[in-house]
Amino acid sequence: MTDNKRIYSLDLLRGIAGYGVAICHFFAFSRDIKIFEYYSFIFVEFFFVLSGFVLSQQLLKVVDNGKNIKTFYLRRWYRTLPLYFIALLFFTVLSSSYNFDFLKYLFLIQKIIPDFVSNDYFMVSWSLAVEEFFYFLFPLYLIFFSRKSLVLSVILFIVIFSLFKVLFIDYFTSSFIRTGTLLRLDAIALGFLLSLFINKISKNKIFIILFILIGSLLIFYFNNILNSSNNVYVLSFVFLSEIFSLILVLLFFNYNFLLKNELMIKFCKHIGNQTYSVYLFHLVFLYIITGIETVLVNNFFIYLLLIVIFSSLVYKFFEEPILKLRPNYKN
């Protein structure tokens, strides 16, 4: 998406999701408040739906011309894999896990089946595995359909992977239902489906009402989910999170016009650009600041400061130069 078409409110949402995960993990693991681990899953849902939504124009180029699939792959891999591989090396060294688990993480198959890795030392990588499998499989699926049948084909994709979760629910743990690679592809496809209807959906206040209602339901689930081992309960939590994320993306898209201040626009772009490194590396800084707490400075603020500085530098000196190498689509 070029800058003149860039939706700055979605950059802001991306930043909220990235820092939301980082903050939730701080309280879940540093303060041992377990409910925050479930909060973090909501923010990851934002990532999934948002990813499908913002990639829509690139995916449509693949639908219009199947030869664009190579360009799509290269652009996504340039964006995601170099920093992922560096993060993987970081976590492998920190955990001293020099075994076959490394290869599973390397090829992003760590969550392809339950308990496939013996040591889940790169715990946030599960969502990257979902993203990369989607990037690979979904364009291959789309090239068999034209624009006329696109909506039905996307709905079919979503139904198939949603049913997969439902039909095999008794064979999976509650954790795998939330993080299994092939169980979560529908969330990103939902974002793409939303993009196909975005110009037809009105800015009716009904979406704000739905946002509040579904948010209230999720709060109810948060209050009960820690004590539940019922997979149906967990699966309904996943579906509710996806719907909640869809409505949130829609609301942020609709209210992009409120961002008129140049300083605010720069902030949204900056926080959006930071997000990927924030997500991949925040647990490194959580490890570093563990035990660092003084009377004057709470380690939460040290943690956030380190993340902000690191992610800004990584984007400027590593991610941005690589992004400039990406090929452009041909008409």
Nearest to 256 by CA among 55, 52, 54, 79: 54
Residue-level pLDDT at 2 = 38
Greater model confidence, 115 or 290: 115
In sequence order, which residues have a C-beta less than 8 Å from that of residue 196 and are 6 or more positions away?
Answer: 56, 150, 151, 154
- As a whole number of angstroms, the distance between CA 91 and CA 123 comes to 9
The total of other beta-carbon atoms located within 10 Å of residue 113's CB is 12
Greater model confidence, 212 or 24: 24
* Inter-CA distances, 75 with 25, 72, 132, 280, 326, Å: 30, 5, 12, 19, 5
pLDDT-derived band at 260 (thresholds 50, 70, 90) equals: confident
- Position 241: which residue type? S
pLDDT-derived band at 1 (thresholds 50, 70, 90) equals: very low
Q: If you ran DSSP here, which 8-state letter would residue 112 be given?
A: S
Residue-level pLDDT at 102 = 95
- As a whole number of angstroms, the distance between CA 119 and CA 293 comes to 29
Residue-level pLDDT at 4 = 46
Q: What b/e string do you get for 246-275 counting C-beta neighbours within 10 Å, with b at 16 or more?
A: bbbbbbbbbeeeebeeeeebebbbebbbbb
Residue with tokens 């400075």: 297
- Position 11: which residue type? D
Greater model confidence, 154 or 30: 154
pTM tops 0.75 = yes
Lowest mean pLDDT among 17-31, 173-187, 207-221: 207-221
First to last CA, the chain: 15
Domain residue ranges in the chain: 3-323
- As a whole number of angstroms, the distance between CA 254 and CA 264 comes to 17
pLDDT-derived band at 224 (thresholds 50, 70, 90) equals: low
Residue-level pLDDT at 292 = 64
Nearest to 122 by CA among 90, 83, 91, 81: 91
User: Count H helices, E strands: the chain?
Assistant: 14, 0
- As a whole number of angstroms, the distance between CA 17 and CA 5 comes to 21
Instruction: Please check the confidence at residue 294 and state whether its pLDDT lies above 60.
Output: no
Lowest mean pLDDT among 80-94, 113-127, 191-205, 277-291: 191-205
Nearest to 190 by CA among 54, 59, 72, 53: 53
Q: CA-based diameter of the chain, in Å?
A: 64
H helices of 97-145, where? 100-106, 125-142
Lowest mean pLDDT among 31-40, 135-144, 188-197: 31-40
pLDDT-derived band at 35 (thresholds 50, 70, 90) equals: confident
Lowest mean pLDDT among 13-17, 39-43, 130-134, 234-238: 234-238
Nearest to 239 by CA among 205, 176, 190: 190
- As a whole number of angstroms, the distance between CA 115 and CA 283 comes to 21
- Is the Cβ–Cβ distance between 93 and 111 less than 8 Å? no
If you average pLDDT over every residue of the chain, what do you get? 89
Identity of the highest mean pLDDT range in 84-98, 124-138, 284-298: 124-138
